[in-house]
Chains A and B, each alone.
Chain A
Amino acid sequence: MVGSVSARSTAVKIPSTRYPVERITLPNGLRVVLTPDRSAPVIGVAVVYDVGIRSEPEGRTGFAHLFEHLMFQGSGSLEKLAHFRIVQGSGGTFNGSTHLDYTDYFETLPANALERALFLEADRMRGPRLTEENLRNQVDVVKEEIRVNVLNRPYGGFPWLKLPPVMFDTFPNAHDGYGSFGDLESATVADAQSFFERYYAAGNAVLAVSGDIDTATATALVERHFGDVPARPASQRPSFTEPDLSAERHESYVDNLAPLPAVASAWRVPHPVEDFAGYLPYVVLAEVLTDGDASRLVQRLVQRDRTATSIGGYIGFLGEPYEVRDPTALILQAHLPAEGEVEKVLDTVAEECDLIATDGLADGELARTQARMATHLLRETDAVLGRALRMAVLEQQRGDPGLINELPRLIGEVTQEQVVAAAAALRADRRATVEVQPGRSA
């Protein structure tokens, strides 16, 4: 045996980052965030548009995502395939992704490709090449994406596509963000053109550049490439809010590919932007309940009662607490053994939340959870691209990209009283639940 280990230690101090932040707004309304870091010869470039799944029109489910694909199909100066070839032929990688409240496009490259990346993003911001042939091709590709991620595998879309329609009543919040095949197939080039005109204005976008850049040089290059993107009125984002639930909701469905039961529940949380201080305790609570073997619900459900084989908790249906707007939720999701009873799991979660509400937290329980959350936050933004993406969305949704440097400290300042109050709010009558019934024997 190796040495003796003291059974108890104290939590370490939570560190923070000091990423520099330069903010600029071009005359056409494009907001720009620059954050230099000369420690490695690489850069991250992210463009975030203020449109997502919640903004797509009725009868056009999945359109925000389909349109994201079309933004890679060529633009004014670029043939189809050129974007991919230029990024990769410059030593970089690219992607885009569609979220509830935004759509991002990004590259990470060796630093000598900075101007190319800016050129590529500016070219499609002026306008993608929208053709019937490319649209039909990408409808086919998106259908294969949905087959891989949803239709041909067990637990496909659970719970991110399955829980919103239980919790919400309005189309923007409740509908399937991947889209029905019928809606995807009926999409037209004219739909795409009007979607671009409405939502893809420079004033509706944020550009973030991180990594091995000189601020003055990068500013000049940004102005050179984005300066002639025309100014267009930016679409005003409507409120998508809905009233909180007043009675419990519970639905179930059979998944023919799933061998074992599963369940997910959601509770509305305070406004992530307007009431950030009231929201953060819920972000912490999700981790107190489910982060690792020392967390409340893993100890109780997985280790003691064995009523679940795994339990996870997070904020937002896509699990991105600092990149989502109202309305959103705290979500708990559990996988159960073959004979597991969903009601028992739900009752135990309620019991554990009551215990926190009445007895508070154990000594050190909050501090150790906050320390682990700090590691997660710092790790997510170690890559220049992760940093550019987070800062772009913080600028877009909060006008505060420097918040990236404050998050570990703000998480660390959440008090026990706040977490206890958040736990008390996870009541059954505010809960929306979706249950997966296995359609295939284990």
Chain B
Amino acid sequence: MTHTLPELGPTHELTLPPEGEQAFGNGLTVIAIRRPSVPLVEVRLRVPFARAELAPAALLTQTLFSGTSELSTVDIAAEMQKVGGALGATVDPDRLLVTGNALADGLPRLLEILAQVLGDAAYPADQVAIERDRLVDQIQVAQSQPAHLARVALLKRMYGDHPYAVQTPQPEQVKEVEPDALRALHRQRLHPAGATLVLVGDFDADTAIGAAQTALSTWDGGGEPAELPPAPALAPGPLTLVDRPGSVQSSLRMALPAVPRTHPDHAAVQLANLIFGGYFSSRWVENIREDKGYTYGPHSVIEHAVAGTSLVVSAEVATEVTAPALLETWYELGRIASLPPAPQELEQARQYALGTLQLGMSTQAGLAGLASTYAGYGLRLPWLAEHAARLAATTLDQVAAAAATYLAPARGVTVVLGDADRVEASVSGLSGIERKPVD
């Protein structure tokens, strides 16, 4: 008996959940999205944090919830647990992000504690000392991870003198951070001006905004905005070979130019990247994994940051196939940059891009992440529907033109981290190289 592939049913239009938005007088914007799928709430507070010094910023994320004048670190954690909640913070060169969730009935309490911390974080000396030592240990462990070391080398290669070039502090820098530096950074930068609070969950949007107003409308509105200069263009040149003696795999990284979400080429670049290597059913993954077995999880991702966008290609490959894997990577980039893809390749990538938009919006956490990220670029969820329409309308010519402009391998920069003594001879047969020790 033969079995034939069933047709797809009719496509569902992208539908957006109901949302409310309000800007408070202190500069905080609150976006509340109702998604009552489970009786929970998701919370994301995004605060602009460009130009914050690396070591204090990193330690601030670890100590923001370490106590106020009224609550100890244990009190804060216990009070959050009572409503099934937790709060944490992370930082990148653009923003500080507070992430939290709780049982739906716990939203007012979560916001009350968040407001208390934002207005009155104490950075107690003993807690700062504990978290400083822990952060130093974490960085030391990261510095023994090949993925981290390859990232460090790639950022340096991509960004030169730009603040994006270094995104992790050195242990020695962290060791010098005193509580006063954290209090000063908090005072200068942790303010509602330009910040966005996203709430998603099982609530009425107006009620959620009301809870945010009660807790956060009196959050101190001072502080000065800081902006980054645009990221520099990539400077192609010799491949950077970073030596990690004894490595049993090489970490291949390439950065290529790309465009922000609001650029007219964005949808075409997204589709071109998918066809090249941006999902499993791409040319590059089918080639170096499913045909040649060089690697397990190669991926190619468009990375958006406020000051610039790039396309980053990553694969961990067996040491002995480092040069052949590089060759195939450059081959697939060169192929898509110089020959138009087949129509069915475009349709497959288009369906994937459209379908995964719907999947990404189907959970509370997914919606919260999307809404918060887009808010950082001045976009709102309805932009997703417009983007879906652009993806649907993008032509083969537009994709081919985008590939020629952005995916051409000669426009990129390449970093390889691995056992240089074992790979240098073969890799230098394919490209000029510059060998460096691990930083």
- The answer to whether B427 has its CB under 8 Å from any CB of chain A is no
Contact A375-B352, Cβ < 8 Å, known A5-B113, A383-B363: no
Interface residues of B in 48-97 (CB under 8 A from A): 65, 68-71, 73-86
- The answer to whether B316 has its CB under 8 Å from any CB of chain A is yes
B-facing mask of A62-92, CB < 8 A → 1, else 0? 0000000000000011001100111011111
Residues of B within 8 A of A17 (CB): 38-39
Q: Is the CB–CB distance between A154 and B77 below 8 Å? A: no
A372 partner, pick from B12, B84, B279, beta carbons under 8 A: B84
Q: Is the CB–CB distance between A371 and B83 below 8 Å? A: yes
Residues of B within 8 A of A123 (CB): 3
Q: Is the CB–CB distance between A368 and B70 below 8 Å? A: no
Shortest C-beta distance, A78 to chain B (Å), equals 8
Contact A144-B40, Cβ < 8 Å, known A89-B347, A306-B133, A382-B365: no
Interface residues of A in 83-103 (CB under 8 A from B): 84-86, 88-94
Shortest C-beta distance, A441 to chain B (Å), equals 10
Residues of B within 8 A of A84 (CB): 280-281
Q: Is the CB–CB distance between B362 and A116 below 8 Å? A: no
Q: Is the CB–CB distance between B351 and A89 below 8 Å? A: yes
Q: Is the CB–CB distance between A259 and B5 below 8 Å? A: no
Q: Is the CB–CB distance between A294 and B74 below 8 Å? A: yes
Contact A2-B219, Cβ < 8 Å, known A144-B249, A292-B81, A302-B134: yes
B-facing mask of A310-344, CB < 8 A → 1, else 0? 10000000000000000000000001011000000
Segment of A27-35, A37-45, A184-192, A232-240 engaged in the interface with chain B: A37-45
Q: How far is the CA of A80 from the CA of B280 in the complex (A)?
A: 13
- The answer to whether A183 has its CB under 8 Å from any CB of chain B is no
What size tier do the contact residues of chain B reach?
35 or more
Contact A303-B81, Cβ < 8 Å, known A41-B358, A113-B9: no
Q: How far is the CA of A268 from the CA of B307 in the complex (A)?
A: 52
B-facing mask of A92-134, CB < 8 A → 1, else 0? 1110000000000000111111111001001100000000000
Count residues of chain A with CB under 8 A from any CB of chain B: 100
A3 partner, pick from B69, B80, B147, B218, beta carbons under 8 A: B218
Residues of A within 8 A of B248 (CB): 147, 151-152
Segment of B228-236, B252-260, B289-297 engaged in the interface with chain A: B289-297
Residues of A within 8 A of B31 (CB): none
Q: Is the CB–CB distance between B103 and A292 below 8 Å? A: no
Shortest C-beta distance, A230 to chain B (Å), equals 11
Residues of A within 8 A of B115 (CB): 2-3
| CB nearest neighbor in A for B145 | A153
Q: How far is the CA of A93 from the CA of B115 in the complex (A)?
A: 39
Q: Is the CB–CB distance between A145 and B296 below 8 Å? A: yes
Segment of B136-144, B174-182, B373-381 engaged in the interface with chain A: B136-144
- The answer to whether B130 has its CB under 8 Å from any CB of chain A is yes
Q: Is the CB–CB distance between A440 and B81 below 8 Å? A: no
Q: Is the CB–CB distance between B352 and A140 below 8 Å? A: no
Q: How far is the CA of A111 from the CA of B14 in the complex (A)?
A: 12
Q: Is the CB–CB distance between B79 and A90 below 8 Å? A: no
Shortest C-beta distance, B323 to chain A (Å), equals 16
Residues of B within 8 A of A369 (CB): 81
Segment of A8-16, A47-55, A199-207, A425-433 engaged in the interface with chain B: A8-16
Q: Is the CB–CB distance between A88 and B348 below 8 Å? A: yes
Q: How far is the CA of A293 from the CA of B6 in the complex (A)?
A: 52
* 10 sampled A-B residue pairs with Cβ under 8 A: A9-B82, A13-B105, A88-B351, A140-B294, A141-B295, A153-B147, A260-B140, A293-B76, A337-B133, A375-B101
B-to-A contact residues, CB < 8 Å: 1-6, 8-12, 15, 36-40, 65, 68-71, 73-86, 101-106, 109, 112-113, 115-116, 118-120, 127, 130, 133-134, 137-138, 140-141, 143-147, 215-216, 218-219, 246-249, 279-281, 286, 289-297, 316-318, 347-348, 351-352, 354-356, 358-359, 361-366
List 5 tightest A-B contacts by C-beta distance, closest first: A91-B355, A140-B293, A112-B9, A2-B119, A293-B77
Name 9 extra pairs, CB < 8 A, besides A259-B140, A293-B73. A116-B8, A141-B293, A142-B296, A144-B249, A145-B296, A148-B249, A295-B77, A375-B85, A384-B362
A-to-B contact residues, CB < 8 Å: 1-5, 7-15, 17, 37, 39-42, 76-77, 80-81, 84-86, 88-94, 108-116, 119, 122-123, 136-145, 147-148, 151-155, 225, 228, 256-260, 291-295, 299, 302-303, 306, 309-310, 335, 337-338, 364, 367-369, 371-372, 374-375, 378-379, 381-384, 440, 442
